[in-house]
Amino acid sequence: MKKFSLIAMGFVLLVGLLTGCGGNANSTKGNDTEPVNKGEGNSGASVTIKMAISGSEQEQKLRYETADLFMKDHPNIKIEWVDIGNERYQKTLTLISGGNPPDILYINDWTLPLATRGVLMPLDDFIKEDHSFNLDEFYPSIIDAYKLDGKLYGLPQDLSPTVIYYNKDLFDQANLPYPADDWTQDDFITAAKKLTNPAKKQYGFILSTWNTEYDGWMLRNGASLFTPDLKKSAVDSPEALKALQLLKQIVVDDHVSPNPAEIQAMGQYDYALFRNRQLAMFSSGLWQLPGFKAEPLPFKWDVVRMPKQVNQATKAGVLSWSIHKDTKHPKEAWEVLKFFVGHEGMKLVAKYSMALPASDVKEANQIIIDSKFPVNVKAFVDSAPLVNMEEFRHPKWSELSVAINEQLDRMLIGNQSPEDTQKNMFAKMNEIMAE
Amino acid sequence: MNLKSLKIPTSMKETLWAYVFISPIMLGFAVFMLYPLSASLYLSFTNSDGITVAGFVGFDNYVKLMSDKDFIKSLFVTAYYTLGTVPIGTGLALIVAVILNAKIRFTTIYRSAFFLPVITSMVAVATVWKWLYNTDYGLINAFLMNLGLYEPPWLASDKWAMPAIIMMSIWKGIGFNMVLFLAGLQGISPTIYEAAKIDGANGLRRFVHITIPLLRNTTLFVFIIAIISSFQVFDQVFIMTKGGPAKSTTVIIYYIYQNAFQFFKQGYASAMGYVLFAIIFVITMVQLKISNRKDVN
Amino acid sequence: MSAPSTSLSISKRPPVSVKAAAVKWLARALLHLLLIVGSISMMLPFIWMVSSSLKNANELYAVPPIWIPQKWLWQNFVYMFEHAPWGIYFLNTTKITLIVIVGQLIVCSMGAYAFSRLNFKGRDALFFLILCTTMIPYHVTMIPTFKIMKSLDWINTHKALIVPALFSPFGIFLLRQFFLTITKELEQAAMIDGCSYPRIFWHVILPNAKPALTTLAIFIFMGTWNDFLAPLIYLNDDGLKTLTLGLASFQGTNTTQWNYMMAGALIVMLPILIVFAFAQRYFVEGITMSGMKE
């Protein structure tokens, strides 16, 4: 019977493949359960540290290279990657809840939410005892964002402050001088208006919906999201209202930037619009540089710091590592973490030029400045000390963020006045913070 | 009792064999579904954040849900989506399947074409549809303009974003249901049609009196699955609008996802999951009941 | 049976006039026109994928969109092939998909047979219970499921993806609905011949359900091949990754090079397209509507 033999073959195949699959399982199991490995030629017991990894294949390459360098120096420690992909929250939470967390976590804005829940190990003791490590090299404003009740729970490796990318050709066409790093908010508005041309579907600027760019505008206008003790919202300040009015002016009144719904509907990212000459300026971090290098933009361009108002604060993309409190090898985990955020690790970050090193290591930052891509790449380095990630400090940030964005959206679509937006935002935030 | 003949009665034999046949699926159910289902049901009565030890809170989560405006709105949004996609989507799929089941040339190519959206990456689909909906150079509004009709702002408006998503979802789902209907149509014996033809029934009559009744089992399946999956819609909304503008497309699963994995509210999210379950459960029950009643008639 | 009856139906009709033939031809042409327009609209995003995968960044983001790139950049594909072990991903995905197809077809056809053709106590309740499991969003069952895998020590193995996938309520339900349509007479005849239930299942039910089994196989193939979340949650090692997971790692944290992405997405979806085109042979050419346009 033909059919019968076919099914039989299927079964054989099934069994064969299943056993193959079991083989795989065993080989990995050997690696991740017990540290007592056979130690291929290495003297001494070897320890495996599981470390979370995420991001593009390029970003991962940087981590691999750092790890290889580390393992060369520390033959007794093996780094094993746990890829958390781009659904980071989902996988991280599942790993933690499921009782299978990596020793070193990749969490960034989730540091405080997890620290509050007792998932992380404070790093202060390590730092105190380890004289080879200097916390002063890190930017205080960022380190503060990883502290809960005076204890430090994370250390940043990559920092990517947002600056303004601008199209020089469009500035030339509009007879505008190129912006300088000390330009003001008024200069920015004037330029954005002149660079907007509805007939050509050209926008002067795009108010980014990425992360908390809006908070950058608030900070520079002297406002802030929370009261210093983090107990209440601080968006009821006159400064916050001024900032909201500014955002409304940019998006609704002057319409030099598309509104959030239009951005979503366009289906084009800011970097795509910029490349397409439909956008004269946009704010973004260093992560645009590899793409702009691989496929050059068809015009002259440069970067400049965010325009100054009360101050010149800015937001950033930050990558940070933390240690899980249940790790069986805290000492080794610290060694790994220290290496990644230390000088060697930071120099590699600079070499890849996808972000700045998150500490003020001169030799690493010099690599970025020397790259001269773009000409004013120094703007990133100069912005770094003024990065303010206040939102990282609140354990309920992700929920607050959704509430804030909803109110902002209403205003920027033109359905709500800045005054009402401020009122609703303040009430919503306090409601969530009081829970 | 007849002890002499050890013959097992047929009915008992049937039951025995039935249990043998369902044993694999029941085993799978016991191992992989029973615990997650009961664990999540339990969680819905706790204030679990997914990490720390959860406290039992009774019906608090469910009570809170009743006054959670965002939750109620997301339910309406989801119902809107379901009503918009399921009837038209399955109807169109049936028509396409019937046409492509006919003896016409190139059916293989047509079928593949209609199936293509089902397997095309959602990102590519979303990008192209955003172009179609674009108010400046989109094909849809250009067409409406030529007809002198109103040109909706589509994805940029809180009124039109959902209809835009519904249209795209219908388009994307036709191929999936078409394949199911095609398989169902294979089960209808051609002789029935021939007999009807001899009786002088025209194409439409044959469709109404033969195809539709004989496809009942398939249609029931397609409908139930379509409703279950549209109540759990997430991907296209997330990629097309991120739930906006102004939450007009925030569907229930999106809200569950946020609560479970971003707001650290596993317990609350589980309660939402079970409310959603109850809704789908009732709808499915009603559908099965209606189809059973027809069986009797 | 169909051949004689067709000739019968023709013989009953008056001789086909030239006019009627023309009308029939026109109707056919119109139908094809409709189908061609429909097909093209269905293919647009796919065509866009192909064209995007061959573009440079400047063309990729052009407005209004450019459909035919000036220079076809096949090196985008070369780039993709050079930057990820696609061969390993492909083998992993193929292995998982094949096992799931065979396994799920066995498990589901057995279950569906009992649920549709056999009488036993609690049949409908059990079936409904299975169906109910699809009504709970996986977001709330994900962590408990992960815990099961952890206790089985299946994390970071393909077993975590394969074994649970064998027990599919969707598959059970689909096959049950189709088994219900098979006429009772066939079964009864076999019964009288003294066939046992397994033999009826094997010789009567399965051969008569080929279109349904093929359909299910296609859906399993598609679902398993494209599955993203389960591999993401359970797999850590690069060597165990599936195609979709490999593709996702070309998506950056903040930016993505979409021309490469689209080239990768095409690599991932092509096998499904090929399988679908071939599997269609099992949808026997329809006879149902042969007369509709006459």
> Is residue C22 situated within a structural domain?
no
Q: How many domains does chain C have?
A: 2
A74 touches chain C (CB under 8 A): no
Cis bond leading into A374, ω under 30°? yes
C155 touches chain A (CB under 8 A): yes
pTM of the full structure: 0.87
The token duo for C64 is: 């209004």
Determine what percent of chain B is predicted with pLDDT higher than 90. 52
pLDDT digits (tens, 9 = 90+) for C111-157: 999 999 999 989 999 999 999 999 999 899 999 999 999 999 999 99
* Average pLDDT value for residue range C200-226: 90
Distance CA B93, CA A342 (A): 60
Instruction: Between A261 and B176, name the one with better pLDDT.
Output: B176
> Is residue C79 situated within a structural domain?
no
Q: Which of B199, B129, B120 is nearest to B165 (CA)?
A: B129
Beta-carbon contacts of residue B228 (< 8 Å; ≥ 6 apart): B280, B284, C134, C135
Distance in Å from the first CA to the final CA of chain A: 69
Chain position carrying tokens 């206008």: A221
Q: How confident is the model at residue C282 (pLDDT cuts 50, 70, 90)?
A: low
pLDDT at A291: 87
Nearest CA-CA distance, residue B148 and chain C, Å: 23
Is residue C97 located within the same domain as residue C232? yes
Q: Which of A79, A78, A81, A82 is nearest to A45 (CA)?
A: A78
Distance CA A413, CA A411 (A): 6
Residue A280: CB atoms within 10 A of its CB come to 31
B245 in Cβ contact with B158 (< 8 Å): yes
Q: Which of A14, A86, A100 sits opposite C251 (nearest CB)?
A: A86
> Is residue C2 situated within a structural domain?
no
Is residue C62 located within the same domain as residue C93? no
Look up residue A321 and give its amino acid.
Answer: W
Is residue C229 located within the same domain as residue C281? yes
Segment holding A165, helix H or strand E: strand A163-167
Distance CA C170, CA C218 (A): 13
Q: How confident is the model at residue B285 (pLDDT cuts 50, 70, 90)?
A: very high
C190 touches chain A (CB under 8 A): no
Is residue C64 located within the same domain as residue C204? no
Distance CA B112, CA C269 (A): 13
The answer for A 173-212 residues in CB contact with C (under 8 A) is 201, 210
Segment holding C270, helix H or strand E: helix C258-279
Contacts of A413 in chain B (CB under 8 A): 158, 245-246
Look at the alpha carbons of C58, C61, C63, C69 in this order and tell me if their dihedral is positive or negative: positive
Is residue C88 located within the same domain as residue C232? yes
B167 in Cβ contact with C270 (< 8 Å): no
Q: Which of B127, B179, A336 is nearest to C212 (CA)?
A: B179
pLDDT at A369: 93
> Is residue C39 situated within a structural domain?
no
> Is residue C18 situated within a structural domain?
no
Supply the mean pLDDT for chain B: 88
Contacts of C245 in chain A (CB under 8 A): 83, 85
> Is residue C250 situated within a structural domain?
yes
Q: Which residue of B has its CA nearest to C117?
A: B18
The DSSP code sequence of A121-144 is ---HHHHHH-TT--GGGB-HHHHH
pLDDT at C14: 54
pLDDT digits (tens, 9 = 90+) for B51-86: 888 899 999 999 999 999 999 999 999 999 999 999
Task: Give the angle subtended at the CA of C136 by the CAs of B228 and B94, to the nearest 5°.
Answer: 15
pLDDT at C11: 44
B263 touches chain C (CB under 8 A): no
Contacts of B244 in chain A (CB under 8 A): 260-261, 264, 409
* Average pLDDT value for residue range C228-256: 86
Is residue C166 located within the same domain as residue C212? yes
Supply the mean pLDDT for chain C: 84
C148 touches chain A (CB under 8 A): no
Is residue C62 located within the same domain as residue C149? no
The CA-atom distances, in angstroms, between A423 and each of B69, B228, C137, C263 are: 19, 40, 36, 48
Residue C174: CB atoms within 10 A of its CB come to 24
Q: Which of A29, A82, A210 sits opposite C153 (nearest CB)?
A: A29
Range of the domain at C214: 84-290
Pick from A1, A57, A80 the residue to mutate for testing the C interface (most C CBs within 10 Å): A57
Last residue of a domain, one of C53, C73, C93: C73
Task: Residue C118: give its domain's CATH number.
Answer: 1.10.3720.10
Q: CATH 1.10.3720.10 in chain B: give the residue spans.
A: 60-296
Among the CATH numbers 3.40.50.720, 1.10.3720.10, 3.90.1150.10, 3.20.10.10, which is that of B60-296? 1.10.3720.10
> Is residue C199 situated within a structural domain?
yes
* Average pLDDT value for residue range B228-238: 91
Is residue C106 located within the same domain as residue C247? yes
The token duo for C53 is: 């995968």
The residues with which C246 forms a beta bridge, in sequence order, are none
Q: Is A92 left (phi over 0), alpha (psi -120 to 50) or beta?
A: alpha
What HEC string does chain B produce? CCCCCCCCCHHHHHHHHHHHHHHHHHHHHHHHHHHHHHHHHHHCCECCCCCCCCCECCCHHHHHHHCCHHHHHHHHHHHHHHHHHHHHHHHHHHHHHHHHCCCCCCHHHHHHHHHHHHHCCHHHHHHHHHHHHCCCCCHHHHHHHHCCCCCCCHHHCCCCHHHHHHHHHHHHHHHHHHHHHHHHHHCCCHHHHHHHHHCCCCHHHHHHHHHHHHCHHHHHHHHHHHHHHHHCCCHHHHHHCCCCCCCCCCCHHHHHHHHHHCCCCHHHHHHHHHHHHHHHHHHHHHHHHHHHHHHHC
Is residue C195 located within the same domain as residue C67? no
Helix axis angle, B10-28 to C86-117, nearest 10°: 150
Instruction: Between B210 and B90, name the one with better pLDDT.
Output: B90
Distance in Å from the first CA to the final CA of chain C: 20
Q: How far is CA B196 from the centre of its chain?
A: 34
Beta-carbon contacts of residue A86 (< 8 Å; ≥ 6 apart): A54, A55, C248, C251, C253
Q: How far is CA A48 from the centre of its chain?
A: 27
Is residue C62 located within the same domain as residue C120? no
The answer for A 17-56 residues in CB contact with C (under 8 A) is 17-18, 20-22, 24-25, 28-29, 32, 54-56
ipTM: 0.88
* Average pLDDT value for residue range B186-214: 81
> Is residue C16 situated within a structural domain?
no
Q: What domains sit in chain A, N to C, each tagged with a CATH number?
A: 2-161+317-375 (3.40.190.10), 163-313+396-433 (3.40.190.10)
Contacts of C248 in chain A (CB under 8 A): 85-86
Distance CA C21, CA C6 (A): 17
Distance CA A52, CA A89 (A): 12
Segment holding A105, helix H or strand E: strand A104-106
Give me the average pLDDT of each 10-residue run along chain A (435 residues): 43 39 35 39 71 88 94 94 87 91 92 94 94 92 92 94 96 96 96 93 89 93 94 96 96 94 82 92 93 91 96 94 95 95 92 89 91 94 94 92 91 94 96 91
pLDDT at B6: 55
* Average pLDDT value for residue range B23-40: 93
Distance CA A122, CA A104 (A): 13
